[in-house]
Chains A and B, each alone.
Chain A
C-alpha cells in the first residue's frame, strides 16, 4: 500500500513537472533538437533541474541500507556499453526527433491531444511488444 502511494505521488510530481516545463509540447522538444534552426534550450534547463535534485538523492541513497518504504533497492547494475545500448539509444533518438515525443510526455499529452498522443503510444507499445517478441 505504501508503495502504491509512493507511485501515485511520484507520478503526480512527474506529470506536474512535465506540464510546467513545456516538455509536453512536441514542437518545443523538437526545437531543442533543431540546432541548425531556431534552437530552443528549454529542455537543457529541465534536465539540469532534474539532475541537480537526483544527484542529491543519489548521495542520500548511498547512506541508506534500504529504501524508506521497501525492503531493498532494485537498481540497474549493468556496466557494459554494448551494441544493444548504442543501437537502442540511437533508435530512440530517431523516434524522438521524428515525433518530438518520448514516453513520459506522450502519456501526459493524452490530456491535451488525446488522439495524437494515443496514436504515438499505440505505436510505442507495439514497438515494445515487437522487441519482446524477437528478444533483441
Chain B
C-alpha cells in the first residue's frame, strides 16, 4: 500500500510494526510492571543508571530486540537501511542522543509511545519538543548543505 502524495512512505508496514512495538510495551507494562523505554533499558544494561530493573533483564531485552529484528530480516522482509556516511555525524549524534535522553528521562519509546499513550503531560511536552527540535535540526543541516 502506498500513499498517492508520498510514494516512499510505507503506511501499512509502519502501522503493523507500530502495533508490534505497542504489544512489546504492553507486555512489559502488564507483565513486569515497567515502561519499555529503550534509552533507560540501554543505560541500565551498561550500569549507567540506577533503576530496579535487573541488569540481566535489560541485557535480555536488548538481545531479544536484535533477535526479533534478525528473524524479520531473515524470514519476512530484508531490512533496508541508509546511514549517514560521516563518522563524525554518527558519533556526535549518538553523544547528544545519549546525554539528552538521560537528561530528559526518555526517548521515542519511553516518552513517545509509553508516555503519550498514558497522556502524561511530561511526555506530551517532551515528544513535541524532540520532534520540533529534530525538524529544525534537519532543516538547518539541509540549509547549510550538511544534509544526507
Q: Interface residues of B toward A: which range? A: 35 or more
Chain B contact residues, CB within 8 Å of chain A: 3, 6, 8-36, 38-39, 42-43, 46, 48-49, 51-54, 56-58, 60-73, 76-77, 79-84, 87, 89-105, 107-109, 111-118, 120-122, 125-127, 129-139, 141-142, 148
A50 to B130 CA separation, bound complex (whole angstroms): 18
29 residue pairs bridging A and B, Cβ less than 8 Å apart: A10-B24, A11-B63, A14-B36, A15-B69, A17-B17, A18-B69, A20-B76, A21-B21, A25-B79, A27-B81, A30-B138, A49-B14, A51-B117, A57-B30, A58-B29, A58-B118, A74-B52, A84-B103, A90-B130, A92-B100, A101-B90, A107-B42, A107-B62, A111-B73, A112-B73, A123-B91, A123-B93, A125-B48, A128-B46
Interface centre among B35, B43, B52, B132 (most CB of A within 10 A): B43
What is the total number of residues of chain A having a CB less than 8 Å from a CB of chain B? 117
Q: Determine the main DSSP class of A at the interface with B.
A: helix
16 extra A-B contacts, CB within 8 A, seeds A91-B99, A92-B97: A2-B31, A7-B64, A13-B21, A14-B24, A16-B69, A19-B69, A20-B20, A24-B79, A36-B139, A67-B33, A81-B121, A89-B126, A93-B129, A98-B93, A123-B98, A125-B48
